[in-house]
Each structure stands twice: as structure tokens, then as C-alpha cells.
Amino acid sequence: MLPVAFKLEELFPPSGDQPEAIAKLLEGIEDGLAFQTLLGVTGSGKTYTMANAIARLGRPALVLAPNKTLAAQLYAEFREFFPENAVEYFVSYYDYYQPEAYVPARDLYIEKDSSINEHIEQMRLSATKSLLERRDVVIVATVSAIYGIGDPSEYHGMILHLRHGERVSQRDVLARLVAMQYQRSELDFRRGTFRVRGDVIDVFPAEHAEQAIRISLFDDEIEKLEVFDPLTGRVHHPMARFTVYPSSHYVTPRDTTLRAIEAIKEELRDRIEFFQKAGRLVEAQRIEQRTRFDLEMLAELGFCKGIENYSRHLSGRRPGEPPPTLIDYLPQDALMIVDESHVTIPQLGGMYRGDRSRKENLVEYGFRLPSALDNRPLRFDEFENVVRQTIFVSATPAEYEREKSGAAIVEQVVRPTGLIDPEVIVRPASTQVDDLLSEIRERSQRSERVLVTTL
């Protein structure tokens, strides 16, 4: 497959150790190396080196960062480097998150409580949309990338394609929008909603922040498709075709939902029988009441609160199989970059066990079915099985990165500015005050300034 045109905005050409580092990384990737490490000192321009490698390689890229703060910084930098390409942001969309839990010692059940940041949710949907539509994509993500989201094939199958002149009835369009978890709202027109005025349907796509689509029908035919500003109503331009993506990653076709309902019912019967045989009638009544309520919601609306706990049934996976994640949306030839790998890799390894211990209590005491255990992040061995060609980036790579990369460790020591680290002198603590005063007097006599940092 031919490389895609990434247009890199270069204010300055690579310098210092950057040109050699870029050449070595590209050579390693083209030679088929699975893992490489970019060992670069602080301030050596590692992000710019990554951007150059992505641009010259011409493949989709996933950049993993250890936290939201660093991810936001990387996202801003890559947006500057690639203003004409798709740079996306995929992090946890919770501003506040209290996970569902049960504390047996106090017989205390804590219901899930959360506050979703709608803008970040839109950016997550935009990320998966870009991966499905184009190849000039850079996704900046955190460990959210290894948490379960909807199955890519099911998600792709729910997409609504609209074309000018296509014959389609108004009822069919509305039915598809409802199946994609869009809500009808005549007054509060916001992301993930639609409104109907005669033969005109306005849709505010879930993955867009500032654009909506107007579908004008005449005699069951799409007469016009227009992109407009949802705030002012001003039409921007007409479209020959437009693709509406589902409002949630967990959207599923109706027949898949019905199949999942039957599988959940079967698991529920087994679980009730298990509790009854053990004489645990409270747990049996609890799991039946909670699950039957969810089943009714699924049957009537196609979704329910906590639908992610039934993701195994909705995706048709077997018990214990890894959940679909953002990585499943990546093409096989994508490039993965693990920034600050000495921090990010241990984080990726620790997500599974923390999630598992909390959910085991919920399953044991009848709050959730055993299949809820499969709504989880990837185990580290599962993550290793799905990684693409990977570059670890760190000033202090750990043993894992060194072991995986072998001899493929690219050093970037000389900064583009040519500045080197100052000489560091360590002196005994017993005379530190006298040493400091003598240094201050010496600098003072030369009319120089002194900066003292202390804890």
C-alpha cells in the first residue's frame, strides 16, 4: 500500500541528533523490527523526531501517553505539526468517576456515579471515525486505549450513508437514527440528536462539534444534503454524500441485541440456580431483579445503564476472550509510539488486576453476572499480542524496553540548540551551608546572580 501524504509543518529542519535518529528509526521500521527505543535526553526534541518519522513513513499512528496532561500537550504539538491531517485525542471521557463496587465487610453497595465530558466524548467518536475513513491519522491516547469499547465490525455496520438523489423514506431514516442511539429533540438541538420538520430532518452528528447535516426529502428521495451551523442555522455548503456515525461505541444492530438478550437470559438462569443450590437466596433474588430490569431496557430501547457489562454477549465473544479496544480499529500496518515508556508500560500492565478485584466482589454477591468480568481492560500479555510495530520513547528506558528492543536503541543526546547539560557537583551534606555561602560570595564578587533551589 502506498504511503499517505502527511504534510508536516516544519518551522525548522531537524538538527542535532535528530536527522540520524529519524533515519535509524525509519530504517528499523522498513526492516520489519517489531520494537525500537528512542533514548533521548530531555529537551532533545523527541516529539519532533516522532512527527518526522510518522510523516516520512506515511502510516496511521497511535501515540500512547501516561496521563491526560501529557496527552493534551502531545495532542497540541501534533496539531501544530500536522494542521492538514487528522490528529485525534482519545482519553477517558469522565470528569468524575465513581465505579460500581461492593464492600462485603460493611454490606455497602456503591452505585456507579460519573460525569461525562461531552467534548471529550465527541473527540473519542471523531478518533474512531477518522480511523475508519482515512489513513493520514495520528491518535494521541492514554491507557483508555486498552479498555473495551464497541466491536469495530458492529460499529461499522451501523453507519448511515446518505447520497443526493438516493431513494429512502423518512420513516427509514428516522428508524436508523434511533437504532444508532440518536435522540429526537425539537428544542434542545445538541450532539447526538435529530429534529424533524415535515420532510426536513436535521441531524447533529455525535462526532462533530460545530457542524450538523440537513436532509431534505421530496417524494421519498433525498433532494438536498446541506452542512449547516447548528447554532445560527446558516448553511455552509451542499454535500453530494454524507456519512452519519453512531452516537455511541456500544451501538449494536437489533438482531445482535436480541441474540444477546437470549444469551444473557441463559446465563441468568445458571447463576440463579448456582445461588439457590448454595442457599444464598438474597443473592439469587438480587441478580434476578437487577438483570431482568436491564433485559427489559435492552428489549425496548436497545441499551441500558451499564450496558458495557454485557459487552461479551453483544460482541459474541467467548468467556475470557479479550474485549475489542481502540487498537482493534487500527490497521495492521499502523505505527505505535509509547511516549515516556518507563511510566506508560507499567501502567498498561497494572490496569487489569485493579479492575478485576473490584468486579469479583460484584459477581460473588449477585450484583453482576460473571460475564461482567469480561468488560475489562486488556491483560498485558493480550496487549502484547495486538501491538503493531512499536517505538518506545524515553529519557530513561526501563529493562522491559531494553529487552524488547535489543540492539535497536536509537540515541538522541545532542539537542537541536547545541546546548548541553551543565556539570553537576555533589558535595557532602555536613558542610552544605558553608559551601553554599562560599559560592554565593564568589559569584557576588563577580557581580553575578545566584539561584538557590531547596526543599
Structure confidence at residue 44 (pLDDT): 82
Structure confidence at residue 316 (pLDDT): 82
User: What Rg value do the Cα atoms of the chain yield, rounded?
Assistant: 27
Domain that holds residue 384: 17-147+325-412
Query: Within this chain, do residues 95 and 193 fall inside the same structural domain, yes or no?
Result: no
In a domain, 9, yes or no: no
CA 144 to CA 160: how far, in whole Å?
27
Query: Within this chain, do residues 133 and 194 fall inside the same structural domain, yes or no?
Result: no
DSSP state of 245: P
Contacts of 68 (CB under 8 A, 6+ apart): 91, 92, 142
Question: DSSP string spanning 333-345?
Answer: T-EEEEETHHHHH
In a domain, 429, yes or no: no
Which CATH number does the domain housing residue 239 bear?
A: 3.30.2060.10
Query: Within this chain, do residues 40 and 137 fall inside the same structural domain, yes or no?
Result: yes
The model carries a pTM of: 0.82
In a domain, 283, yes or no: yes
Query: Within this chain, do residues 281 and 376 fall inside the same structural domain, yes or no?
Result: no
Tens-binned pLDDT, residue by residue, of the chain (455 aa):
445 678 898 878 888 888 999 999 999 999 999 999 999 888 888 999 999 999 999 999 999 999 999 999 999 999 999 999 999 999 988 887 888 888 888 888 888 887 878 888 889 999 999 998 889 999 999 988 998 887 888 888 888 999 999 999 999 999 999 888 899 998 889 899 999 998 999 999 988 888 999 999 998 899 999 999 998 889 999 999 999 999 888 787 888 888 999 999 999 999 999 999 999 999 999 999 999 999 999 888 877 888 888 888 888 888 888 888 999 999 999 999 999 999 999 988 888 877 788 888 899 999 999 998 888 888 899 999 999 999 999 999 999 999 999 888 999 887 777 666 678 888 888 888 999 999 999 999 999 999 998 87
CA 157 to CA 159: how far, in whole Å?
6
The answer to whether residues 299 and 310 touch, using CB atoms and an 8 Å cutoff, is no
Of 244, 268, 292, the one marking the end of a domain is: 244
| b (16+ CB within 10 A) / e for 33-46 | bebbbbbbbeebbb
Q: Give the chain's length.
A: 455
CA 174 to CA 57: how far, in whole Å?
42
The strand pair at 113-116 and 94-98 is best described as antiparallel
Cα separations in angstroms, 359 against 248, 292, 318: 23, 20, 18
CA 106 to CA 61: how far, in whole Å?
47
Query: Within this chain, do residues 225 and 296 fall inside the same structural domain, yes or no?
Result: no
In a domain, 417, yes or no: no
CA 87 to CA 65: how far, in whole Å?
15
* Other beta carbons within 10 Å of 132: 15
Q: Which of 91, 90, 82, 164 is nearest to 127 (CA)?
A: 90
User: SS3 for 317?
Assistant: coil
* Other beta carbons within 10 Å of 114: 12
Query: Within this chain, do residues 282 and 262 fall inside the same structural domain, yes or no?
Result: yes
Report the Cα 434 to chain-centroid distance in Å.
Answer: 53
Query: Within this chain, do residues 137 and 35 fall inside the same structural domain, yes or no?
Result: yes
Query: Within this chain, do residues 165 and 228 fall inside the same structural domain, yes or no?
Result: yes
Query: Within this chain, do residues 297 and 400 fall inside the same structural domain, yes or no?
Result: no
CA 93 to CA 120: how far, in whole Å?
5
Q: Which of 268, 250, 270, 43 is nearest to 148 (CA)?
A: 250
The answer to whether residues 179 and 252 touch, using CB atoms and an 8 Å cutoff, is no
In a domain, 377, yes or no: yes
User: SS3 for 32?
Assistant: coil
Question: DSSP string spanning 405-427?
Answer: HTT-EEEE-S-TT---PPP----
Q: How many CA atoms lie within 13 A of 75 on its CB side?
A: 19
CA 453 to CA 216: how far, in whole Å?
67
Which CATH number does the domain housing residue 63 bear?
A: 3.40.50.300
- Give ∠ CA 5-89-314 in degrees, rounded to 5: 105
Query: Within this chain, do residues 37 and 63 fall inside the same structural domain, yes or no?
Result: yes
The strand pair at 35-40 and 108-110 is best described as unpaired
**Structural domains in the chain (count):** 3
DSSP state of 182: -
In a domain, 418, yes or no: no
Structure confidence at residue 3 (pLDDT): 55
The answer to whether residues 25 and 36 touch, using CB atoms and an 8 Å cutoff, is yes
